Amino acid sequence: MNCIIIDDDKLSRKILEEYISKTPGIGLAGSFSNAPDAIRFLKKKSDIEVVFLDIEMPEMSGIDFLKSVVDPPQVIMTSSKGKYALDAFDFDVADFLLKPFTYNRFSKAIEKVMNRIQRHSLNLANKKNELFIKKNSTLVKLRYDEILYIEALENYVVFNTFNDKYTVHSTMKALTTKLPPMFIRVHRSFIINLNAINEIDDNVILIRTNEGDITIPIGKAYRENLLNTLQKF
């Protein structure tokens, strides 16, 4: 996850640079003392996902920056004045950091950004052939054809692939409206990739992998829809 810093205060930039350097999953692509230079940089770089943006700057304020940038990356706003918090959230920023802030508070802001990027990725699921999944403090890109099945665990779901598992804070109900048609719910606790099915034996789905067979139960309420979908698939 690439980020940039925009802050006219040298010490503030240095602190953020130190925090970023010791945080897995995030890399610093640029550090700017003014917003116009950052805007020129963003026009050339399309892979910036996070902007740490100070509000009070002499040449162009953080608010003016947000007004001038079309479809900006995720923004974490920073300021030494708490009165700007409400103004910041009018622009749907990911978080507001009141200076001085600790590394722990910084880490919570990064967590919020990762969650937002992940949700945004799921919302675009039907338009792309991939999505981003958060693993620990890193966002991992998954292709749909890598996903075998998804299992519900209370308030979380687990994406099971050929090589790994990824736990995401979401619900089965939310996923069923966002995943492409190749994914279908077959049980209260399971969504399966239709391309991953090897056999259906009575009320059980069989998936064969290099590490062995995986069996997924078919819920009574989902069986008819599954069979009808397979006939059309």
What per-residue confidence (pLDDT) applies to 154?
80
Same structural domain, 76 and 138: no
**What is the rounded distance in angstroms from the CA atom of residue 215 to the CA atom of residue 206?**
5
**What is the rounded distance in angstroms from the CA atom of residue 201 to the CA atom of residue 208?**
13
- Domain holding 44: CATH number? 3.40.50.2300
Burial class (CB in 10 A: 0-12, 13-18, 19+), 90: exposed
Tokens standing for residue 109: 């802001």
Same structural domain, 93 and 137: no
* 126 phi/psi in degrees, rounded to 5: -75, -10
Same structural domain, 99 and 148: no
What per-residue confidence (pLDDT) applies to 122?
59
The number of folded domains in the chain is 2
What per-residue confidence (pLDDT) applies to 176?
77
Domain end call among 96, 119, 142: 119
pLDDT at 137 over 80: no
Instruction: With respect to residue 205, please indicate whether it lies within any of the assigned structural domains.
Output: yes
What per-residue confidence (pLDDT) applies to 92?
82
Same structural domain, 208 and 138: yes
pLDDT at 170 over 60: yes
Same structural domain, 25 and 112: yes
Instruction: With respect to residue 208, please indicate whether it lies within any of the assigned structural domains.
Output: yes
Average pLDDT over every residue of 185-192: 94
**Which of 46-55, 166-175, 176-185 has the highest mean predicted lDDT (pLDDT)?**
46-55
What per-residue confidence (pLDDT) applies to 128?
61
Of the candidate ranges 135-144, 157-166, 183-192, the one whose mean pLDDT is the lowest: 135-144
Instruction: With respect to residue 195, please indicate whether it lies within any of the assigned structural domains.
Output: yes
pLDDT at 124 over 90: no
Same structural domain, 12 and 110: yes
Instruction: With respect to residue 124, please indicate whether it lies within any of the assigned structural domains.
Output: no
Beta strand ranges found along 110-194 (DSSP E): 130-135, 138-143, 147-153, 156-161, 165-168, 183-187, 190-193
Same structural domain, 115 and 6: yes
Average pLDDT over every residue of 150-156: 89
β 183-187/190-193 pair status: antiparallel
Confidence bin at 175 (pLDDT 50/70/90): confident
- Is the bond leading into 73 cis (omega within 30 degrees of zero)? no
Domain end call among 89, 119, 149: 119
157 CB contacts (<8 Å, ≥6 apart)?
A: 150, 151, 167, 168, 170, 171, 172, 175
The pLDDT tens digits of the residues spanning 200-230 come to 988 999 998 877 889 999 999 898 889 888 8
Helix, strand, coil percentages for the chain (3-state, nearest 5): 35, 35, 30
User: What domain range includes position 57?
Assistant: 2-119
The pLDDT tens digits of the residues spanning 23-60 come to 988 999 999 999 999 999 998 887 899 999 999 999 89
Same structural domain, 147 and 78: no
Domain end call among 95, 119, 143: 119
Instruction: With respect to residue 61, please indicate whether it lies within any of the assigned structural domains.
Output: yes
CA-closest candidate to residue 204, choices 164, 149, 132: 149
Same structural domain, 7 and 104: yes
Mean pLDDT of the chain: 87
- Domain holding 212: CATH number? 2.40.50.1020
pLDDT at 112 over 80: yes
Same structural domain, 36 and 99: yes
pLDDT at 191 over 90: yes
Same structural domain, 81 and 185: no
Same structural domain, 141 and 186: yes
- Predicted TM-score (pTM) of the model is 0.58
